[in-house]
Each structure stands twice: as C-alpha cells, then as structure tokens.
Amino acid sequence: MEIKITQLLDEDMFQFSHSAHEGGRNAGNNTWNAAMNGPRPLLETPEQFQAARDYFQGFGAWDREECDAFTENEVQALLLQFIAGDVREAGADSLDDMDWEAYEADESLCHRLFKSGDGEIYYSISE
C-alpha cells in the first residue's frame, strides 16, 4: 500500500527523526513528541491504519497485540518517524530537498519513497 505524503514536502524531518548525537540525550522523547503533534492526516482509512499496523509488526519490535493497541495518533506518529528517518537516511532534510535520481540509484537505501510522474510523493508500507 502506498500512502500519499506530498503534504509533507516542506516539513523539516529532523524534528521527527534524529539521534542523541545530533539532538542530545532527550532526542527520543523530543522526536516522539514532535511526531505525536506532527502534520495530520497521513492515514485516513481503516485499511490504511491496518496496513500500517501490519507494516510495523513486520519489524519484530512489536507483537500483534501491541500493534493493535496503538492509538490512531500513535500509528500516525510512528509512520511519520519512519518517513522522516528514510528522508534523512537519503541525505535530505525534507522531501523538497530530495535528490530523486541519486536516491533511486543508491542501492543501500530501502526505496520506500517515490515520486510519481505528476509530482505526488508516496511512501510504501507494503512488504
């Protein structure tokens, strides 16, 4: 499933994903709080929320019960953190800063982000 994220084009992704080295010892709390209060909605339908929960469970950090217990806001926040992490891993501070040609050519990246021909940007939560 692909989630349209073009609305995040100008968002500074650092606020949602950075390390303690970059942001100090409270980086985890700060990024989580920023994501919990970040731009909404990313997900809108029950199917999108379920797909996101399934995606998160696939990492092995949470079991089915934990994923099912996430509030909708927590699911939105966690997705925002994953998106921000992937943008920053690609060397950009925002989606607007992305070098799409370099991103697509870099085989070390997961390539969950993509830009369509009409300029819309999506994030894949499919396996």
For the stretch 81-109, pLDDT in tens is 999 999 999 999 999 999 999 999 999 99
Domain range for 47 is: 2-124
* Number of domains present in the structure of the chain: 1
Phi, psi of 52 (to 5 degrees): -65, -45
Cα–Cα distance, 75 to 70 (Å, whole number): 6
- Single out the residue of 72, 84, 80 nearest to residue 23, CA to CA: 84
- Convert the pLDDT of each residue in 15-74 to its tens digit: 999 999 999 999 999 999 999 999 999 999 999 999 999 999 999 999 999 999 999 999
Number of separate helices (H) and strands (E) present in the chain = 6, 3
